[in-house]
A and B are shown apart, each in its own frame.
Chain A
Amino acid sequence: MKDINKDNNLPTKSNSLPTKPCPLTPTNSKTIEVIEKIEGEAVVEYSFDGDRVDDVKIKFFQSRHIEKILIGKSVNDALVINPRVCGICNHAHLIATVRAIEDCYDSIEVPKNAKILREITLSLELLQNHFKWFYLTIEPLLGFDVQILKATKPSQLISKMIAMLAGQYPHNSYAIPGGVVGALTPLEIVGFKSSLNSLIKIFQESLIDVDLQNFVSCDRIDVMLSKSGDMPRAMQTILDKGYTELGKSNDKFIVFGEGLFKSGKSIKTRVATNIDTKYVESFDIKQSEAKLATYKGKFYEVGPLSRAMLLKTPLIKEAHRKFQDSLFSRILARVCEVPRLLLYTQELIEQIYLNRPFYIEPKILTNGEGVGVVEAARGSLIHKVSVRDGKIEDYQITTPTQWNLSFNTKENPTPVQKALIRSKKSDPLELIFKAFDVCSVCTVK
């Protein structure tokens, strides 16, 4: 691990004299704000230059060192331990682990049924997170009353749907190298489809009242705003409050996962698809337990907006044309993943054939190196494992929050730093920050 701060050797603002002294307001005054909503705890420190944000530091103060715990254990133990990295996106960790282990084989056959089931349960976890984030985090920050039931109802239903296929939620271990442990019955498929229909109804009744198929091809923001539902209401509020200039970041996006999404990177709107996880590096940050992640030494944003930029989904393309990578585009992109994921799940469940295998036994793994990538709710999650004599020799987890919410120098800022620096004291800083959605549990793995 390199220390990027040391490499750049740049003085931090707090150690140097204020560059533009302002006689009226105290400069360089540091306000410390603790953000601990959602899970775990992160401290966000703002340094102000006059009434503008001069620099931002995001610090995490706890760690469990699960990567160290994995070393020396049997490779399959990772399937039990890794979901426990995070109770919020535990399933993404399970799927990333199983993919990393499977990648260690020269050749391994995973039956289509198992691949589909994994995609379904993974998509459901994304949906669950999106609902909770929108209703519990974003809406209150826009000044609406918290509608707890609108968050818990869908997330409870989704947990049940994952439990139907995988046993329980959170923390199941139903995916194993070579497939999944059990087979489904026709009854379970019928029950699942019925729950999926209820979920689609909940989406239409709460977030936005549209036909799913039509909506995913919608490319006009005014059409979206004209519908009824909490999503158009929230987006209209952002427009009315004039927040569309806020939260603009580096405009550099990266996506590693596949499935419903496309991997690649997008700078402004220029897309390149030939990326490789071998260029991903992570660095220690001074004063924080978290690490920051880079691709070829550069910072990129991961998450729903990145995925939409790579897929060039019509509505987000339009939002980006009008408002660039502001918080408007970021929030819209995340909520607009919901109908896509619902349709995707609907398509996938039809492709399960009960008379075909759910598991094909692979040979015993002794040595190898593998990478497992999934698109978790907040962005790309990368697991890297190396196995020697059936034991884990090294394990590295790179989480979405490491890409979006780590901090570096203000001259070479990370996505969230860039989004916040130069914002006014009176701007909704918390909203700008949380539009990225912190998942500190994963980050302090």
Chain B
Amino acid sequence: MDRRDALMKMFSAKGVKVNTNRGEAYYSKLKETMQKRLNELRNAPAASKVDINKVLEAEGLTRRDFMKWASAACAAMMLPASFTPLMAEAAELMNRVPVIWIELQDCAGNSEAILRSDAPTIDELILETISLEFNETLMAAAGHQAEEHLDEAMKTFAGKYLCVVEGSIPLHMDGQYGTIGAKGETFEEHLLRVAGSSAAVVAVGTCATFGGVPAAAPNPTGAVGVQDIVKGKPIINIPACPANPANITGTILHFVLTGQVPELDHLNRPKFAFGYRIHDNCERRAHFDAGEFVEAWGDEGAENNWCLYKMGCKGPMTFNNCSVVRYNSGTNWPIGAGHGCIGCSEPQFWDKYAQERPMADTHFKAPTGGVEKTVDEFGLGLLTVAGIGIGIHAAISAAAGKKEEV
């Protein structure tokens, strides 16, 4: 088996492939499950009083806009169009699922991106209707009052709420690099307590998923991600710095629809969002294929939005949907402003990828040749680079085969 075959095999391995068509039998069964779940939720008491229809009305959005959103959300989550009514219903029932949002060793950037800074598209509006039982950044209550509120929410919704975590967990010095509340609870204790009685844990942002910038070498505080601490609970990782609101809404919607976590890859990332590389759908991809590269900042290529690969863009080895969803409600994204991808949703991006360090300067083998080579050869050269990671993906996913079932 030559290298090319090996690569092809690797890419078509069960654990890596994103299956967008699973056949009728699968979807009709899924539909049934979802309908049952939604009926249950409809009969459950609303955890928050906010009604999505009223919110949409206040924002001047019509039912038609809402249904358009629902069909787009289906596509984003790789479900057939026939799921659109269910998706709309799920959005209306978002307020039945309580969410407790805790911040650990973080910069509040995810809270900023998700809850306050992004434009109110339907995605974000729906996110506003979730029953946010506890969030330190947004809550008016402070101190003891806040702690009481947290305890109460945890008791009332035990086993039902989603625990959303922002920030890493410092373990050095017995966790004394981060304590919370008047009682001086360490972040680790706090996380274990809140995650303990949750239905599932959603780690939001690269700090909560992989340790993030605090875990950068020499990792002075011993920072780790949620999955290193919480065991025996479903964990969904939504990395990126900051995480994209659309992916969080998608994940929560999936939970509303099925009561389960979405299909995950071996790094516990939802496949609907992290199934492709930035490079696969990049708006500058055509320039990569044509061999048109930015060679220096401010050159002809930079002015004409050519491919940033030679300037150190990490799009080819970064799994995320930024190139499709973009940021700030689709306003723009780093590559749109002419800056290469820094791979912020990958483990250890802060040490491995960082700034515009071209591939040649990293410990990855850069694809040789370039303009004169054919697209195929060039692409293959690249894949060997990405392949290091992807090979591991494949191996681990096969071992953790259980995650493949929805």
**Bound pair (A, B):** yes
- Say how far A93's CB is from chain B's closest CB, in angstroms: 10
Q: Mark B151-193, 1 if CB is under 8 A from A, else 0.
A: 0000000000000000000100000011111101001000000
Q: By the criterion of a CB under 8 Å from any partner CB, how many residues of chain B are at the interface?
A: 69
Alpha-carbon distance A76/B137, docked complex (angstroms): 31
Q: Which of A39, A128, A140 has the most chain B CB within a 10 Å cutoff?
A: A39
Among A84, A178, A183, the residue within 8 A (CB) of B303 is: A183
User: B6-14, B257-265, B329-337, B384-392: which lies at the A interface?
Assistant: B329-337
The interface centre, meaning the residue of B113, B331, B335 with most chain A CB atoms within 10 A of its CB, is B331
Contact A84 B212 (CB under 8 A): yes
- Quick one: closest A residue to B119, CB to CB? A156
The CA-CA distance from A153 to B118 in the complex, in Å, is 9
Number of interface residues of A (CB under 8 A): 72
Whether B338 contacts A174 by the Cβ 8 Å rule is yes
Q: Note all chain B residues with C-beta closer than 8 A to A155.
A: 116-117
Instruction: Provide the B294-338 mask, 1 if CB < 8 A to any CB of A, else 0.
Output: 001110001101000000000000000000000111011111111
* Cα distance A360–B297 in the bound complex, in angstroms: 8
- Residue contact A170 to B111, C-beta cutoff 8 Å: no
DSSP class of B's interface residues: helix, strand, loop or mixed?
Answer: loop
Closest-CB distance, B75 to chain A (whole angstroms): 23
- Residue contact B298 to A360, C-beta cutoff 8 Å: yes
Bound-state CA distance A157–B187 (Å) is 34
The reply to whether A43 and B182 form a contact with Cβ atoms under 8 Å apart is: yes
Within 8 A of A (CB), among B137-151: 137, 139-140, 142-144, 146
Residues of A within 8 A of B144 (CB): 34
How far, in angstroms, from A325 to B329 measured CA to CA in the complex? 41
Distance, CA A62 to CA B342, complexed state (A): 27
Q: B142, A62: Cβ atoms under 8 Å?
A: no
A409 within 8 A of B: no
Residues of A within 8 A of B329 (CB): 160
Given the known interface contacts A84-B109, A90-B107, the answer about A62 and B218 at a Cβ–Cβ threshold of 8 Å is no
B37 within 8 A of A: no
Complex interface: chain B residues within 8 A of A86 (CB): 107-109
1/0 per residue A150-185: CB within 8 Å of B? 011101110110111111111111101011111100
User: Are B332 and A167 in contact, CB atoms less than 8 angstroms apart?
Assistant: yes
Q: Is the CB of A359 within 8 A of B139?
A: no
Which of B230-238, B267-275, B354-362, B395-403 contacts its partner?
B354-362
> Quick one: which of A254-299 are within 8 Å of B by CB?
289
1/0 per position for B208-245, CB-CB distance to A under 8 A? 00001110111111010000000000000000011000
B285 interfacial by beta-carbon distance below 8 Å: no
B120 close to A80 (CB less than 8 A): no
Q: Is the CB of B178 within 8 A of A61?
A: yes
- The answer to whether A160 and B143 touch across the interface, beta carbons within 8 angstroms, is no
Whether a CB of chain B sits under 8 angstroms from the CB of A389 is: no
- Is A381 interfacial (CB 8 A cutoff)? no
CA distance A79 to B213 in the complex (A): 13
Contact of A66 among B213, B242, B305, B333 (CB under 8 A): B213
B146 x A36 contact (CB < 8 A): yes
The one of A146, A289, A359 in contact with B302, judged by C-beta atoms closer than 8 angstroms, is A359
A183 to B305, alpha carbons, bound, how many Å? 9
Flag if B327 contacts A163 (CB, 8 Å). Answer: yes
User: CB distance A61 to B180 under 8 Å?
Assistant: yes
Give A168's nearest chain B residue, CB to CB.
B327
Picked from A39, A69, A156, the residue with its CB within 8 Å of the CB of B117 is: A156
Measured in the bound complex, the distance between the Cα atoms of B120 and A151 in whole Å is 12
Q: B350 at interface (Cβ–Cβ under 8 A)?
A: yes
Q: Is A53 an interface residue (CB 8 A)?
A: no
Residue B339 at the chain A interface, CB threshold 8 Å: yes
Question: Cβ of A160 and Cβ of B119 under 8 Å apart?
Answer: yes
B164 to nearest A CB, angstroms?
15
Name A359-383 residues within 8 Å CB distance of B.
359-361
Smallest CB separation, B36 vs chain A (Å): 35
Q: Is the CB of B105 within 8 A of A64?
A: yes
| A58 in the interface (beta carbon within 8 A) | no
Across the interface, do A68 and B110 meet the contact criterion of CB distance under 8 Å? no
Q: Is the CB of A84 within 8 A of B218?
A: no
**Cβ of A79 to closest chain B Cβ, rounded Å:** 5
Partner of A34, one of B181, B213, B355: B181
CB-contact partner of A156 in B111, B118, B242, under 8 A: B118
Q: Which A residues have a C-beta under 8 Å from some C-beta of B?
A: 32-41, 43, 61-66, 68-69, 72-74, 76-77, 79-81, 84-88, 90, 128, 132, 140, 146, 151-153, 155-157, 159-160, 162-174, 176, 178-183, 289, 357-361, 441
7 residue pairs from A and B, CB less than 8 Å apart: A69-B219, A77-B357, A86-B107, A87-B107, A160-B331, A167-B337, A183-B338
Besides A169-B117, A361-B297, 16 more A-B contacts (Cβ < 8 Å) are: A35-B142, A35-B143, A37-B140, A62-B105, A66-B214, A73-B216, A74-B355, A74-B357, A84-B241, A140-B140, A159-B119, A160-B119, A166-B332, A179-B297, A181-B338, A183-B338
